[in-house]
Amino acid sequence: MINNPSALCFGEILFDVFGDDRCIGGAPFNFAAHFAQLGGEAVMVSAVGDDELGKEAIEYTRRYGISDAFVSTAHGVPTATVRVTLKDGSPSYEFGKDVSYDHIRVPAIKKTYNMLYFGTLAQRADDSETALDALLCSRAGEENFFDVNIRKTGCGAERISELLEYTTILKFSREEASALGGGDLDALCRSLAEAHRNIKLIIVTLDRDGSFVYDTKAREFHFSRRPRSTVVSTVGAGDGYSARFMYDYLRGRPIDECIENATKLAERICGQKGAI
């Protein structure tokens, strides 16, 4: 059991733009913020632009108790923004090209963290792909948590397959299952576990139907209850769920308890505009 778990969080720091409003975000940043607020050590590996938004992003990073020791400055490109449109609380995204998170540098990691978090969006450019590969090859995390967030400008099937070879804990939503093979979700989980013996847990989120976790070693499914919150926006709910689940899991809590606590945090996030 780990009393104060640590998470190295690789990927984008960006601003979600809702009309005239903007909120700090990006799945890895959201995860790190919630993980730190729970009491864990959260360290970002990312890049921001040499601009006012970049300075603001660093201020938010420190405000939420996240280490920015491995957040570099990408000169000549802007800090990333994404325009978010909500329909019945569900978001659609419009991403910019050649932005700060496309130029993440290889960090000089000098310790092993309890987990390494990574997703898909920051895998669309060579610089950032190289940086993540370096972390995976150096075993920067005891657990490798792969959060599959399929976006129009994210990485493709070949890259996803490569990342699965390093993954110990996999998370995806029902909508993203097609990128991993599709079909019946129970069968998909069993198939992924058979193909990638390194995977210990598979977390599947089901929007208003809750979530489930497949324990690949015990070959057991664990199901959540249905969420009870009124949905304002689902932006960041999955990131909060992941952070709470992993914080408890790394501290040795039972899977069912991890799921319940993660569901409660996701409910709270769904009741607000903004991921944190």
The pLDDT tens digits of the residues spanning 167-209 come to 999 999 999 998 898 889 999 999 999 999 999 999 999 988 9
- How much is the CA Rg of the chain, to the nearest whole Å? 17
State the average pLDDT for the chain. Answer: 92
- Across 117-137, b (16+ Cβ under 10 Å) vs e yields bbbbbbbbbeebbebbeebbe
Three-state SS across 95-121?
ECCCCHHHHCCCCCCCCCEEEEEECCH
More confident residue, 99 or 208: 99
Residue 132, both tokens: 């993540």
Residue 82, pLDDT > 80, answer yes
In the prediction, which pLDDT does 173 show? 93
Residue 233, pLDDT > 90, answer: no
For the chain, list the domains and their CATH numbers: 6-270 (3.40.1190.20)
pLDDT confidence band for 17 (50 / 70 / 90): confident
According to the model, what pLDDT value does residue 151 have? 65
Whole-number Å distance between alpha carbons of 73 and 69? 11
Question: Is a pLDDT exceeding 90 seen at residue 1?
Answer: no
Among 111-120, 146-155, 162-171, which is the least confidently predicted range?
146-155
What value does the mean pLDDT take over residues 109-113?
96
Share of the chain above pLDDT 70, in %: 96
Residue 89 reports pLDDT greater than 90: no
What integer pLDDT is reported at residue 70 of this predicted model? 98
Question: Do residues 89 and 231 make contact, with C-beta atoms less than 8 angstroms apart?
Answer: yes
Eight-state DSSP code of residue 226: P
Instruction: Taking residues 20-41, report their average pLDDT.
Output: 95
- Using the predicted structure, report yes or no on whether residue 80 has a pLDDT greater than 80: yes
Structure pTM? 0.93
pLDDT band at 12 (very low <50, low <70, confident <90, very high): very high
86 or 50: which leads in pLDDT:
50
pLDDT above 70 for 143: yes
